[in-house]
Structure 1
Amino acid sequence: MTERNVKIESKVGLHARPAALFVQTAAKAPMDVTVGKPGKDPVNAKSILAVLGLDARHGEEVVLSAEGPGADALLDELEALLTEPEGA
């Protein structure tokens, strides 16, 4: 399993438009993808309700994980969305 810790740079956090883009990107992947706050149970990154339920805010860190061929490339894409200061 590939994991990556990422700091959220979007001013609105992982909410609204950034969350929708994040979920759309994750949903295109054939593998399971999760996101969670460190020390807490991860949620399905392909579920908008689960992602919004994290209440991940600007400056907080989340843990992304995926397993399978292309996992690193997918995590690169998801990380780029989270580290965009304007919220993608």
Structure 2
Amino acid sequence: MATVTVKVGSSVGLHARPAAVIADYVARSGHTVKLSTAAKGPIDAKSTMMIITLGAKHGDDVAIECDDKETLMGVAELISNNMEAK
């Protein structure tokens, strides 16, 4: 599995809305994606609730594991972007 680590860009961390967006993207990809922080994980990124349990806040590092490079980079982009920006 390939791994990349990114910082959480969402100004409010990976709460319900960003977690749901990420989980939906992963579910649609059809690939297995695991997320982890220094304190928790790995968890299945297809689950909004599991993503929320990471407790990742703005600026925290999140490690992403996936066999598919396109999916890996897509999840990395979602996590590193500020989904709260208007």
> What is the TM-score normalised by the length of structure 1?
0.86
Q: In angstroms, what is the RMSD of aligned CA positions? A: 1.6
Maintained 8 Å contact 1:14/1:51: yes
Structure 1 residues 2 and 39: alpha-carbon distance in aligned structure 2, compared to 1, 3 A threshold: farther
Question: Does structure 1 retain, via aligned residues, the 8 Å contact 2:6–2:76?
Answer: yes
Q: What 5-or-longer segments of structure 2 have no aligned partner?
A: none
- Distance in 2, Cα, partners of 1:8 & 1:41: 15
Question: Normalising by the residue count of structure 2, what TM-score does the alignment of the two structures yield?
Answer: 0.88
1:86/1:40 CA distance change after superposition, 3 Å = closer
**May I ask how many residue pairs the two structures share in their alignment?**
85
Identity of aligned residues (%): 33
- Cα offset, 1:38, TM superposition: 3.0
Offset from partner CA, 1:2-21 (integer Å, 9 cap, x none): 11101001101111211110
SS at match of 1:28: helix
Unpaired segments ≥5 residues, structure 1: none
Structure 1 segments, 4+ long, off by >6 Å, are none
